[in-house]
Structure 1
Amino acid sequence: MNFSQLVSLAKYLASHGLLCLRFTCKGLNLVYRTKAYCAVLTYLKSNEEYKVAGVFLAGRSMGSRAAASLMKTACEQDDCFIQGLICLSYPLHPPKAKSKLRDEDLLRLTKPALFISGSADEMCDKTLMTNVVSKIKAPVKIHWVENANHGLTTKGKTLEDVLPEMNEQTLSWIQEIVEL
């Protein structure tokens, strides 16, 4: 929850009037993280203090896998509460294991999705991701940060140079989806 990308994005979206909730899960177990994400979503739906009309699920790396997994379940229930999915540095495959795609949840998406990844991400081959996205029936947008790695950093640029690009792309995409 404290990765620079998530902190920056939450602050940027909040400065434009969008409520952002960040949370973290200990451990690298995807099933556990998805259950924790589901508990947060259930809380938001039932919270009487804040009347939340809808949400975009988002995450970075494994957090984006958990968000995508939860989207699959929620979309099967035709949940109108969830409006879309935002994946920062989605780990499509393990490093140096491009044949082990983690695309099963993505292929079942029925809500709009935004992917922001580095074009040199060792866990998200650009050609493979483009191929996976072409099979998704929901509206999908990919924004490639040129020459960036999994951490969205690149030679010659600092993360602070990349964050405004990521933030602006995300806000613009959310505004497009909300206006539909």
Structure 2
Amino acid sequence: MGAAGAALGAGTKCGCLRLLLCLRAGGGRSVMKIPFGNKYLDAIFSVPDKILTHGVILTHGAGGDMNFSHLVSLVDYLASRGLLCLRFTCKGLNIAYRTKAYKTVVEYLKSSGEYKLSGVFLGGRSMGSRAAASVTRQISQDDNEDFIHGLIFLSYPLHRPKLQSKLRDEDLFFIKCPVLFVSGSEDEMCEKKILEGVASKMKTPTKIHWVEKANHGMAVKGRTPDDIMMEISTQVFLWIKEIIEQEYK
């Protein structure tokens, strides 16, 4: 196991004035505003006590924002185990707009003087995962995909409810980095057999973790949200850890 892999699981000067707030060194959360055209994207850094070489960027689905409970739970878990995490809000149902915002966040983190990262994992929930897939396709076409080491798709919306004939898989077959799907076995927007078929055709290592009896919102009768998110967070962390360890062999 390499040094970076072994360190996982153990537990600055001000930024530009345009960012309004400076980042804190050491553990904790830092609220930020990232420039996006003539607007700003609200974002929060979750900074581990010891910053390693990799980070995670996450965003929300069609509704809500970066404070959606699933994102907060996952980020808290990953940051407590040594991963720098950045979650951000981008409202709107236009996937092209969401993708553009996501690309801005990736470029910001890559060029940040605060944290020297060798790579990031991109992800999101529902529509946020579609934006992560789309931005990864764009970046790979720019021949600059080395910074993205993997994708985390929470409740990927592969199709609309009861409309399995029209799939949202247009970006998935262009992805070159490893992909983790975390989906409910009873997700009305991601039928199990259809996702397994799509994943088998992708040209990159893929893994699917099924949350048994969960719907698109990751709700399971008889289980608490905390219990479900512990299952999800554990799976995501172990997958990230395995990829980082392989890089350092």
TM bucket (normalised to shorter chain) is over 0.9
- Superposition CA RMSD, Å: 0.8
**Match for 1:15 among 54, 65, 80?**
80
Q: CA offset at residue 57 of structure 1?
A: 0.3
2:184 to 104, 113, 118: 118
| Cα deviations by residue, 1:144-169 (Å, 9 ceiling, x for unpaired) | 00000001111111211201100000
Alignment check: 8 A CA contact 1:75 1:111 kept:
no
TM-score by structure 2 length?
A: 0.71
2:136/2:145 contact within 8 Å kept: no
Which of these residues, 138, 157, 176, is aligned with residue 73 of structure 1? Answer: 138
Whichever of the two has the greater Rg, that structure is: 2
Is residue 233 of structure 2 the alignment partner of residue 167 of structure 1?
Answer: yes
Q: For the residues of structure 2 that align with 1:135 and 1:127, how far apart are their CA atoms? A: 13
Residue 96 (structure 1) shift: 1.3
| Alignment pair present for 1:104 and 2:170 | yes
Partner of 1:153: 219
- The residue that corresponds to 2:124 in the other structure is 59
C-alpha distance in structure 1 between counterparts of 2:185 and 2:144, whole Å: 33
Q: Secondary structure at the match of 1:85?
A: strand
Moved over 6 A (4+): none
Structure 2 spans left out of the alignment, 5+ residues: 1-65
Match of 1:136 in 2: 202
Overall identity of the aligned pairs, in %:
62
CA distance in 1, matches of 2:178, 2:139: 13
Alpha-carbon contact 2:130-2:157 (below 8 Å) kept: yes
Amino acid at match of 1:4: S
- Provide the C-alpha distance between the structure 2 equivalents of 1:79 and 1:137, rounded to a whole number of angstroms: 15
- Do the aligned residues in 1 keep the contact of 2:137 with 2:175 (CA within 8 Å)? yes
Return the offset for 1:119.
Answer: 0.3
TM value normalised by structure 1 = 0.98
Q: Alignment length, in residue pairs?
A: 180
Q: Deviations over 1:113-149 (max 9, x none)?
A: 0000000000000000000000011000000000000
Query: Can you give the 5+ residue segments of structure 1 that lack an aligned partner in the other structure?
Result: none
> Distance in 2 between the 1:14 and 1:125 partners?
31
Q: Which has the higher helix share?
A: 1
Partners of 1:128 and 1:75 lie apart in 2 by 25
